[in-house]
Amino acid sequence: MNVLIINGPNLNLLGVREPGIYGSRGFESYLTELRQRFNDINIDYFQSNHEGAIIDKIHEVGFSADGIVLNAGAYTHTSLAIADAISAVKTPVIEVHISNVHKREEFRHHSFLSAVCVGVICGFGLDSYRLGIESLIGINKK
């Protein structure tokens, strides 16, 4: 199975950025752990602070990868263009968030992406990504 994790804007600062909300662990060390845990799956990783780069990546892998785990950061709440990219491709996309966006400011309650993703996982800290991969494994077994 080939899976891609995409992290959007400001998620390159995980570990340093607002640790009270996002935790104090950097993503790279978590990714190493994920790859060890799912050692029979190829997990690629892409992070960008740019909307167009995220869209290009979805187009690039969206007809060949078995799944995408996407944390689009704040673009979740603003980007019709990323929603259209998800709709345009064949690969199933799982929307994930580290924090429980529904417990936070009202502007984080709406997602342009949820309706075009297979499902949404939020509020489990970095474990949201593991749950995202588990859900892709579940879909692939069907």
Catalytic-residue membership of 97: yes
Residue placing its CB nearer to ligand DQA in the complex, 41 or 78: 78
Q: What is the smallest separation between the CB atom of 99 and ligand DQA, expressed in angstroms?
A: 3
Residues 6+ apart with CB under 8 A from 127: none
Task: Residue 116: name the closest of 82, 141, 142 by CA.
Answer: 82
CA distance 121 to 14: 18
Beta-strand ranges (E) seen in 37-87 are 42-47, 67-71
Question: Which residue's Cβ lies closest to ligand DQA?
Answer: 73
Residue placing its CB nearer to ligand DQA in the complex, 10 or 127: 10
Q: What is the smallest separation between the CB atom of 31 and ligand DQA, expressed in angstroms?
A: 15
Give the binding site for ligand DQA (CB under 6 A).
10, 71, 73-74, 76, 97-99, 101, 108
Q: What is the smallest separation between the CB atom of 11 and ligand DQA, expressed in angstroms?
A: 6
Q: Structure tokens of 129?
A: 């990504």
Whose tokens are 């709709």? That residue is 87
Catalytic-residue membership of 22: yes
Residue placing its CB nearer to ligand DQA in the complex, 92 or 129: 129
E strand or H helix at 108 = none
CA distance 61 to 91: 8
Q: What is the smallest separation between the CB atom of 14 and ligand DQA, expressed in angstroms?
A: 9
Active site residues: 22, 97
